[in-house]
Amino acid sequence: MTPSQTPTLDTSTIRIIGSEDRHVAHNYHPLPVVIARGEGAWVTDVEGKRYLDLLSAYSALNFGHRHPALVAAAEEQLGRLTLTSRAYHNDQLGAFAEALARLCGKDLVLPMNTGAEAVETGLKVARAWAYRVKGVAQDAATVVVANGNFHGRTTTIVGFSDDPQAHDDFGPFAPGFVSVPYGDAAAIEAAITPQTAAVLIEPIQGEAGVVIPPDGFLREVRDICTKHNVLLIADEIQSGLGRVGETFACDREGVVPDVYLLGKALGGGILPLSAVVADEAVLGVIRPGEHGSTFGGNPLASAIGLRVVEMLASGEFQTRAKALGEHLEAKLAELVGHGVTGVRVAGLWAGVDVDPARGTGREIAERLLGRGVLVKDTHGQTIRIAPPLVVRATELDWAIEQLKLVLDA
């Protein structure tokens, strides 16, 4: 690393990072930068340095930092009502649910907060559906998942993760999950038994490094699920809501899952807001009192979520992601063989495998930080690029230029 690329930290940065290190549990290893402001695709640190944000809070910031339409929706609702719990009705949830159900082409929405809660909710719904509709014997239901999955951090979910960091030392784990290789439809079919309630799958595996399954895989899985009377649950928490140049990653193959799991960008980068979306025949199995959340469906999150859905309904962000993604893909392809060993791109979302001779993913991310570009490494040698969908092509070009420079350093 040359001096010009070394992040030079001033005293306020060191002090803030120091107090975080002393008093915040060490469940993350953040890059050494302290962000104080954000606007669109850009953030500013406490020293006033600007950075292009190519992580977008793991796609929770698809619309960028403080999108004016989303801030306006939040501010308007802050002045009226923020929380009621579901003990009462509020005047925002119905409109949000109606708009989201329409966007998904489904009947019902079950609102939660975090992505992991949406996954847990989807699993509960699938099990209840298996017992009450499919006729599976009590406590016998199974769910087929994929190797390399990431569905969140709760104890049930990490139980079927094969990432040792996510999984080890957190058992005992809930039974009822079978994991098969990702992208292998035949392996899914072989794992299905009369007790199978659902197949839970990421249409593209984000945390695994933007791993895209073979063409036709999702369509095959759809057919297999239909044939065996098994629910197809698509975890679109990271892949959905415009990221891949379509509303959902399933749209790339014209596939409609039985259940959508949504989160991250649904809250507009302002609040945690997640949802399970499905038809009455599936989500209708949940009866009053069987599931809930104090904050789920709160009016503030609903007002923001409604605006998010309205923004997606125009198709403008999907079109933008598709065009910018093609641009990004062409630029990244030029790097293969020049410090990059592989690139996977879907819409405005890329996994870039860095040649170990040029450094680890973490080292590349740190050097990019020194040049004003924020990315995050995943699984050692991969860096993930997921800019806000409001980024400009010229800004992407500049960021790729910085990547070239740090790879050659």
Ligand X SMILES: *Cc1c(COP(=O)(O)O)cnc(C)c1O
Q: Which of 63, 150, 217, 317 is catalytic?
A: 150
Q: Does 119 bind ligand X (CB under 6 A)?
A: yes
Q: Which is nearer to ligand X, 184 or 236 (CB)?
A: 236
Q: Which is nearer to ligand X, 41 or 234 (CB)?
A: 234
Q: Does 206 bind ligand X (CB under 6 A)?
A: yes
Pick one of 150, 160, 217, 349: the residue that binds ligand X (CB under 6 A): 150
Pick one of 40, 111, 122, 152: the residue that binds ligand X (CB under 6 A): 152
Number of residues that bind ligand X (CB under 6 A): 16
Q: Does 114 bind ligand X (CB under 6 A)?
A: yes
Q: Does residue 235 have an active-site annotation?
A: yes
Q: Does 238 bind ligand X (CB under 6 A)?
A: yes
Minimum gap (Å) between residue 367 Cβ and ligand X: 26
Q: In the bound complex, which residue of the shown chain has the CB atom lying closest to ligand X? A: 115
Q: Which of 45, 53, 235, 353 is catalytic?
A: 235
Minimum gap (Å) between residue 343 Cβ and ligand X: 20
| Euclidean distance between CA atoms 249 and 242, whole angstroms | 8
Q: Does 221 bind ligand X (CB under 6 A)?
A: no
Q: Does 161 bind ligand X (CB under 6 A)?
A: no
Q: Which is nearer to ligand X, 112 or 407 (CB)?
A: 112
Q: Does residue 150 have an active-site annotation?
A: yes
Subset of residues 43 to 62 that bind ligand X, contact rule: CB under 6 A: 58
Subset of residues 344 to 403 that bind ligand X, contact rule: CB under 6 A: none
Subset of residues 163 to 202 that bind ligand X, contact rule: CB under 6 A: 202
Q: Which of 264, 295, 331, 353 is catalytic?
A: 264
Query: Which positions are annotated as active-site residues?
Result: 150, 235, 264
Query: What residue ranges bind ligand X (CB under 6 A)?
Result: 58, 114-116, 119, 150-152, 202, 206-207, 235, 237-238, 263-264
